[in-house]
Amino acid sequence: MTTNDLINIVEAMPDIRVIDMVPANKRKAIQQLVPVALDEVVVSYDWDFATDVADETTVANQAEYTLKGNGNNCRDIINLRYGTTSDGFVLLDKMRPVDVDAFVSGRTVTGVGAWTPHGRSSAGFPKVKILNAPSGSTNILRYRYRRKNVNISEFPENFKFVLIGAIVKRLIPAFDVVYQRDLETMIDHYAMSGGEDMPAALDPVLIARNNERSRLFGWGG
């Protein structure tokens, strides 16, 4: 999939063709919307092709860290773990700064158990603040993050209809309904196929009652 592929498809759509605009200007407008559409889809879910994992070594008594990612490509943080490669990592709770204020009020906090977003560096990288600074300098902050500047060639081919919708809806606002439906379809596809999200289990009592009502007790008839 290339930028020209998307532009050509969008440009050929009947609803786009009837927009009263000079063809060259219309194509230019579509072209300028491509990176906008890519960004929107990237941040809409934790897609495997748009995320990565990196490590940051802690510094004794230092609570603030700037996380740049692998190759200076960190866009924003999804989650943060703390520990060592030998002992394993513990997932830290993400808290808002105002929640941290309330949490630490009137209590002594020990151990590393939470983190909070702490703005951005002058270069635009996300900064985090660890609740209760690490006391040692041999531990690691392992963070999963969204990458920035994800290239269109990195999107799987079946994302084409989602990207098309993200472009078209900016030219035809009513198309947003179609885009949202397509995006939800793709998210459902990813959530179920990778096994990341598990559906809630039904109450066993409810299952038993349903089976009793059907007089099958779980067996097909």
> What digits encode the pLDDT tens for the residues 111-168?
677 899 999 999 999 999 988 777 766 789 999 999 999 999 999 999 999 999 999 9
Is there a single domain that holds both residue 70 and residue 124?
A: yes
Is there a single domain that holds both residue 142 and residue 55?
A: yes
Is there a single domain that holds both residue 175 and residue 139?
A: no
Identity of the residue numbered 15:
D
User: Is there a domain that residue 199 lies in?
Assistant: no
Is there a single domain that holds both residue 111 and residue 130?
A: yes
Is there a single domain that holds both residue 63 and residue 103?
A: yes
105: confidence class by pLDDT, cuts 50, 70, 90: low
Is there a single domain that holds both residue 13 and residue 96?
A: no
The dihedral sign for the CA sequence 78, 103, 91, 194: negative
Is there a single domain that holds both residue 90 and residue 63?
A: yes
User: Is there a domain that residue 221 lies in?
Assistant: no
User: Is there a domain that residue 214 lies in?
Assistant: no
pLDDT digits (tens, 9 = 90+) for 58-100: 988 898 999 999 999 999 999 999 998 888 899 998 888 777 7
User: Is there a domain that residue 216 lies in?
Assistant: no
Is there a single domain that holds both residue 65 and residue 134?
A: yes
User: Is there a domain that residue 125 lies in?
Assistant: yes
Distances (CA, A) of 192 to 39, 146, 176: 23, 20, 24
| Cα-Cα end-to-end distance for the chain | 48
pLDDT digits (tens, 9 = 90+) for 172-201: 999 999 999 999 999 988 875 444 444 444
User: Is there a domain that residue 204 lies in?
Assistant: no
User: Is there a domain that residue 218 lies in?
Assistant: no
Is there a single domain that holds both residue 39 and residue 19?
A: yes
Q: Tell me how many degrees the CA angle 114-119-125 measures, rounded to the nearest 5.
A: 100
**C-alpha span between 145 and 75 (Å, rounded):** 7
pTM, full prediction: 0.75
Closest CA to 174 of 186, 183, 165, 182: 165
Mean pLDDT of 28-41: 96
What total of structural domains would you count in the chain?
Answer: 2
Domain that holds residue 80: 50-147
